[in-house]
Amino acid sequence: MSNFAVFSKTHSNRVLSINKKKLIVALRQKKQRDERSLFVVEGVKLVCDLLRGGMKPTYIAATAEALQTSAIQSVSCEKAECTPKEIAEVSLRQSGQEMVALFQKPESKAISKPTDLVLLLDEIQDPGNLGTIIRIADWFGIHTIIASKTTADAYAPKVVQASMGAIARVSVVETDIVEYLTINRDEWHLPVYGTFLEGANIYNTQVVTPSIIVMGNEGNGISNAVKPFVTDKLFIPNFPVGEVTSESLNVSAATAIVCSEFRRRNF
Amino acid sequence: MSNFAVFSKTHSNRVLSINKKKLIVALRQKKQRDERSLFVVEGVKLVCDLLRGGMKPTYIAATAEALQTSAIQSVSCEKAECTPKEIAEVSLRQSGQEMVALFQKPESKAISKPTDLVLLLDEIQDPGNLGTIIRIADWFGIHTIIASKTTADAYAPKVVQASMGAIARVSVVETDIVEYLTINRDEWHLPVYGTFLEGANIYNTQVVTPSIIVMGNEGNGISNAVKPFVTDKLFIPNFPVGEVTSESLNVSAATAIVCSEFRRRNF
């Protein structure tokens, strides 16, 4: 037996190779995801959701049982059968470590005049909030999210997890939002909605589509750079009016209500 | 100098005592919070929010600067001036460790026939979701949440943090929800609303108050034990109807929309 054969045998026992492990861990960093145009997805359900959404995996490492899932069997990409322990070594999950996959990041959509609602995110920092917002957009048929460069990365593991597969159906375009809003002001002339304490009652104010809805940062709301571009200020009334309540709603809760209100009128 | 004086001097240098540190860390456990009827709150803003909501602290450890806050100065309870490093030792925060306080858990409200909307939580497991739901309830003037014993603890640090002070204005009553719903069925006869894929379009279905709104578990929705008690099934329509979208909304996003719809009708 040659030395090479010995090496090869050892190597095939350890199918989640050291290089792949390093790659999966490296992809926790946005810089690496951007450079390699890849992101990591964990769990059979989430991987299947993204496959259904038309996303393309380049690599799947999973337990023998998980590889038997029919949707996984029909995928042609590099696959590795490995133990839950091996997957746990690269996993961010506490339990259920049966599959980790690498997916290609979709190419960023070119910016063009919106023909429907667009959500514009002004520094949403919490990955859970961003994932929830992507899921809300998907539920309400909003196909484009414009995200400031200060917003969490849509392909970060926690965001992908919280979006529950919605990331496959919603384009998140990271861009300079002030430039975007300047183009709108000068060329597209679409209404720009934002929620403010002094805004008009959203329940009985006329709202139009296509338009741009701005959602602001968790702590500070809509930034000073973006405020001048808002053409229509809205307010989600607390109840009863004038009662002392929370100072604001969580940004994903507010996004849910605003999107619901826009779609309700066009139902 | 007596031995006692030496001990006393040492002790006063280290004002966040070892016993208090142990207590603060122990209170991360629900069992300890229940037994001692105390919970931990971090950060000047959150402590001040709870004070404004009428909650009573029993102990505040903070930096000299944080103790100067006027709302804190006017509180009479045991206070300890200490360094950010000492606070960091017991903190769950990554940064801004300038104050940690112990508050008394309010006495649980007796169960009585609702005179307004009540939210009933059927195994909400994620602390962030529960905190967001408490904040939504507060915004919409819902003063009572009935939580199953399988729901996250409302006084867990992450829940208190996510509720942003709303916990001071919303009573979260942990109880056997099947018993509660049985009392309602047999005595109170209030409508019980729940969201289901086969429910009626919430936008154009009549809804009444007082009533009970059930929100189900993140993964499994409303449990089989609770389903038979739901008298009115509602559905938040996705858009456009029939499009392939996410399977569901995040439970806090759904709660936001349902509460908004109930209040909008009574505006």
Cα B144 to chain centroid distance, Å, stands at 11
Q: What is the ipTM of this complex?
A: 0.91
Q: In chain B, which residues have their Cβ closer than 8 Å to the Cβ of A221?
A: none
For A141, nearest residue in chain B (alpha carbons): B239
Domains of chain A: 12-104 (3.30.1330.30), 118-265 (3.40.1280.10)
Q: In chain B, which residues have their Cβ closer than 8 Å to the Cβ of A260?
A: 236, 257, 260-261
C-beta atoms of B243 and A166 within 8 A: no
Q: H helices of A27-126, where?
A: 30-36, 44-52, 64-67, 70-73, 84-90
Distances (CA, A) of B235 to A138, A263, B255: 16, 14, 12
Which residue of A203, A249, A264 is in closest CB contact with B139? A249
Count of residues in chain B: 267
Q: In chain B, which residues have their Cβ closer than 8 Å to the Cβ of A203?
A: 264, 267
Q: How far is A166 from chain B (nearest CA, A)?
A: 6
CB pairs under 8 A between A and B: 118
Could you tell me which residues are beta bridge partners of residue B120? Answer: B146, B214
Q: In chain B, which residues have their Cβ closer than 8 Å to the Cβ of A204?
A: 267
Residue with tokens 């030496």: B6
Give CA–CA dist A146/B211, Å, rounded.
Answer: 39
More confident residue, A10 or A3: A3
Q: In chain A, which residues have their Cβ closer than 8 Å to the Cβ of B261?
A: 260
Give CA–CA dist B24/A199, Å, rounded.
Answer: 42
Which residue of B138, B141, B249 is in closest CB contact with A139? B249
Helices and strands in chain A: count of H runs, count of E runs? 11, 10
* pLDDT tens, N- to C-terminus, chain B (267 residues): 444 444 433 333 357 899 999 999 999 999 999 999 999 999 999 999 999 999 999 999 999 999 999 999 999 999 999 999 999 999 998 887 899 999 999 998 899 999 999 999 999 999 999 999 999 999 999 999 999 999 999 999 999 999 999 999 999 999 999 999 999 999 999 999 999 999 999 999 999 999 999 999 999 999 999 999 999 999 999 998 877 778 889 999 999 999 999 999 976
In 3D space, the residue among B213, B203, B145, B249 whose CA is nearest the CA of residue A256 turns out to be B249
* B contact test, residue of A249, A262, A266 with most B CBs within 10 A: A249
In 3D space, the residue among A203, A125, A262 whose CA is nearest the CA of residue A133 turns out to be A125
Give the model's confidence band at A95: pLDDT under 50 very low, under 70 low, under 90 confident, else very high: confident
For B239, nearest residue in chain A (alpha carbons): A140
C-beta atoms of A140 and B239 within 8 A: yes
pLDDT in tens, A231-256: 999 999 999 887 777 888 999 999 99
Give the model's confidence band at A96: pLDDT under 50 very low, under 70 low, under 90 confident, else very high: confident
Give CA–CA dist A43/A48, Å, rounded.
Answer: 9
C-beta atoms of B132 and A257 within 8 A: no
C-beta atoms of A264 and B162 within 8 A: no
In 3D space, the residue among B222, B133, B123, B138 whose CA is nearest the CA of residue B176 turns out to be B123
C-beta atoms of A239 and B203 within 8 A: no
pLDDT of residue B235: 96
Residues of B with CB under 8 A from a CB of A: 128, 132, 135-136, 138-141, 162, 164-166, 169, 201, 203, 236-240, 243-250, 252-257, 260-261, 263-264, 266-267
pLDDT in tens, A42-88: 999 999 999 999 999 999 999 999 999 999 999 999 999 999 999 99
C-beta atoms of B132 and A252 within 8 A: yes
Answer yes or no: are the C-beta atoms of A205 and A262 closer than 8 Å. Answer: no
Give CA–CA dist B210/B194, Å, rounded.
Answer: 15
Q: In chain A, which residues have their Cβ closer than 8 Å to the Cβ of B55?
A: none
C-beta atoms of B267 and A238 within 8 A: no
C-beta atoms of B237 and A128 within 8 A: no
pLDDT of residue B187: 98
DSSP character at residue B141: T
The three-state secondary structure class of B175 is coil
Cα B245 to chain centroid distance, Å, stands at 30
